[in-house]
Amino acid sequence: MSEPNKGESGLVQAPVIEPGHTFATVTDQISSIVLTRPVSNGWVFGFGLSFLLTMGMLYSIGYLFIKGVGIWGVNIPVGWGFAIVNFVWWIGIGHAGTLISAILLLLRQSWRNSINRFAEAMTLFAVSCAGLFPILHLGRPWLAYWLFPIPNTMQYWPQFRSPLVWDVFAVSTYATISALFWFIGLIPDLATLRDRTDNRGLKIVYGMLAMGWRGSARHWARYETAYLLLAGLATPLVLSVHTVVSFDFAVGIVPGWHTTIFPPYFVAGAIYSGFAMVLMLAIPIRKFYGLEDFITERHLENSAMVMLATGLIVGYGYVIEAFMNWYAGDPNEGFVLWNRLHGPYALSYYALLFCNLVLPQVLWIRKFRVKPFWLFLISLDILVGMWLERFVIVVVSLHRDFLTSSWGMYYPTRWDWMTYIGTIGLFLSLMFLFVRILPMISIFEMRTLLPEAEVKSE
Amino acid sequence: MKRDILYGVMAEFKTPTELVEAARATEHAGYKKFDAYSPFPIEELSDAVGFHKNGVPLVVLIAGIIGCLSGYALQYWISVIAYPINVGGRPMHSWPSFVVVTFEVTILFAGVSAVLGMLALNGLPMPYHPVFNVPRFALASKDRFFLIIFYSDPKFDLASTTKFLQAMGPRSISEVPG
């Protein structure tokens, strides 16, 4: 792959959009992916494979409903196995989408305009995968509605002093607001598709979804206000969601969980893994759909720098965790660190330190921030590392209980793996469908980035 | 009624600058009922068409306050009145535990109202609108900019309004049937 900025000084930044584009070319190039581009063999293969994995997930969920959670490796003392590890991993991945769409909007980082749409889609799909796990883990998943304050004949109500109930509210609010944010961002682009398609059926479908959007100046003014307010609301929301997820652990008294560093360290870790997923999606998408003009080196480099920064915050979290294990002076707390370094799961702790702390430091070198191939591998490494982090937090903290008589081990079964890999299939299937059905880059926000969009005052 | 025959006269421009200037000139000429259409938000344009009363923030504020109060009230009613459970002798009204859910419900109400409020104030969904009768208006979602002076404007007169728009050098002018 040829890189135009090769050899230039580090201070020269690649443009957000390659020069030479107009309103018409931006519109045509992005909407043609949805409207005119034929379905390629690569897409069919990729979607087929992901769909197969999704079917595997449905199979393992079906078996779970018949047999119960006994088919998983969970038992006392490790009652929270893969289900909770995967829940935290997926919901963390979702956070980067909201960070890009809301926080970077408020910070006026206009480079976000070409990656926010598919990052938001990624958020929605990741949250969908995440939401499955706690419900499957309930044991009696058909009673999941008990978590919500719904009037019922048993006169039962949820316990609002429990962080698990806070989590239900945090995650469901997050899913709702993310879906709304994504949808109102789509409305003007759906109108573009409605006006550009020749297919009568598609015109009706996109027309219904666009709700009669016509781009009136008054509509745009209210639209911009609503969008900005949603961004302002989503910003504290996204920070609160992973904070509340960390409360699930930190409010408990289990050594290794009961620590005040958890909320900030969880939020940083979420953004860390989320940007890794954004890059793992953006790098193949820009290559296969020829979008290098819109997702430029600048986007890759900025995302890499966000990963580097959040990775260092996560590293700080590890250091403080270890320090507090020692400083607390509590033998059970001290044992947590010893067990991580020397216990039966020591390998996972060393692997996590290597994946999250050591290897990503190559991002200090510019070459690794702009070369898509290396960036893809580093992102994969970070996703593995962040999964291991949640494994260490959940499993390694639980498997050594306070009393040695209650110690145990956790071994994931094939059903654990099948459900986990199946959700990756579900996530990828939804992504594959999304890039063909909806514009994966926000067309109207790209138009605002063009030089001709500026109103010249005389 | 003449209204059934005509909705307004529409002029098409090629750049946002031309549209904003045309909108300012239209307001200056004394027209009250006119609108402008663009493929992306233009900050100067809403001011140029005389749009100043944006109701969205108030809707969101009110919904946020309602969300905050109802979220807290729900938890208070459940934990103190409807289903009191004594956990380790802690007070029934243990307000610090209620903060998280109150916050989430506030965001939920405010966020949903921002979307619904924006749509309602914009009069959407509205699948049919007279401006869609102009074939070239399909470009309003791509790369063209449109200005319409409505038939309902007291100053509207087909001949003179068309002449007025013509003077601003638009790419095309069309009558919008009602």
Q: For B104-136, what is each residue's pLDDT tens digit?
A: 999 999 999 999 999 999 888 888 888 888 888
Complex-level ipTM: 0.91
In a domain, B93, yes or no: yes
For position B4, what pLDDT does the model report? 57
Residue B21, H or E segment:
helix B16-28
Looking at residue A455, what is its pLDDT? 79
Q: Is A359 exposed, middle or buried (0-12, 13-18, 19+ CB in 10 A)?
A: middle
Chain A residue with Cα closest to B99: A166
Q: Does B92 touch chain A (CB under 8 A)?
A: no
Distances (CA, A) of B107 to A237, A407, B64, B65, B110: 7, 42, 7, 10, 5
With CA atoms as reference, the chain A residue closest to B18 would be: A455
The domains located in chain A, with CATH, are: 23-452 (1.20.1630.10)
Asked if residue B64 and residue B49 are part of one domain, the reply reads no
What is the pLDDT, as a whole number, of residue A40? Answer: 87
**Statement to judge: residues B159 and B172 lie in one domain:** yes
Name residue, tokens 């719904």. A150
Length of chain B: 178
Does residue B106 share a domain with residue B90? yes
Q: Please report, as a single letter, which amino acid is at residue A180.
A: L
Q: Contact B118/A226, CB-based, under 8 Å?
A: yes
What is the three-class DSSP state of A445?
A: helix
For residue B97, pLDDT over 70 is answered with yes
For chain A, the C-alpha Rg in angstroms (whole number) is: 23
For A253, phi then psi, to 5°, come to -100, 10
- Does a structural domain hold residue B14? yes
Residue at B139 is within a domain: no
Q: pLDDT of B131-154, one tens digit each?
A: 888 888 888 888 889 988 888 888
pTM: 0.91
CB atoms inside a 10 Å sphere around CB B96: 7
Q: What is the mean pLDDT of chain B?
A: 87
Q: State whether B57 and A160 contact (CB < 8 Å).
A: no
Residue B36 lies in a domain: yes
Using alpha carbons, select from A415, A385, A311 the residue that is nearest to residue A83: A415
B48 and B69: one domain? Answer: no
- B33 and B61 share one domain: no
B27 part of a folded domain: yes
Residue B43, domain member (yes or no): yes
pLDDT in tens, B34-55: 889 999 888 888 888 878 888 8
Tell me if B136 is assigned to some domain: no
Cβ pairs bridging A and B (under 8 Å)? 203
Q: Nearest CB to A214: which of B78, B105, B140?
A: B140
Same domain, B30 and B63: no
| Cis peptide bond N-terminal to A77, omega within 30 | yes
Sheet holding B172-177: strands in order across? B34-37, B145-150, B6-13, B172-177
Q: What's the domain range around B85?
A: 56-121
Nearest to B35 among A22, A156, A216 (CB): A216
The pLDDT of residue A4: 43
Check whether residue B42 and residue B66 sit in a common domain.
no
pLDDT attached to residue A12: 58
Q: What span, in angstroms and rounded, lies between the C-alpha atoms of A32 and A39?
A: 12
Question: CB-based contact (8 Å) between B83 and chain A?
Answer: yes
Whether B21 and B68 map to the same domain: the answer is no
- Whether residue B9 lies within 8 A of chain A, CB to CB, comes out as no
Contacts of A118 (CB under 8 A, 6+ apart): A281, A282, A285, A431, A434, A435, A440, A441
Q: Do both B161 and B114 map to the same domain?
A: no
- Using the CB atoms, write b or e for A432-450: b if 16+ within 10 Å: bebbeebbbbbbbbbbbbb
Nearest to B56 among A158, A229, A448 (CB): A229
My answer on whether B69 and B99 are in the same domain is: yes
What is the C-alpha separation between B39 and A304, in angstroms, rounded? 32
Residue B172 falls within a domain, yes or no?
Answer: yes
Q: Are residues B83 and B117 in the same domain?
A: yes
- Angstroms from B21 CA to nearest CA on chain A: 9
Q: Are A242 and A267 in contact (CB under 8 A)?
A: yes
Residues A10-50: tens digit of each pLDDT: 455 677 888 888 888 888 888 888 888 888 898 999 999 99
Cβ(A427)–Cβ(A126) below 8 Å: yes
Region label for B16, one of left (φ > 0), alpha (ψ between -120 and 50) or beta (otherwise)? alpha
Residues 6+ positions from A52 with CB-CB distance below 8 Å: A425
Q: From B108, which residue of chain A is nearest by alpha-carbon distance? A: A173
Based on the domain organization, do B67 and B107 belong to the same domain?
yes
pLDDT of the residue at B2: 46
**B68 at A interface, C-beta within 8 A:** no
With a cut of 50, list the residues of chain A below it in pLDDT: 1-10
Q: How many domains does chain B fold into?
A: 2
> pLDDT confidence of B31, banded at 50, 70, 90?
confident
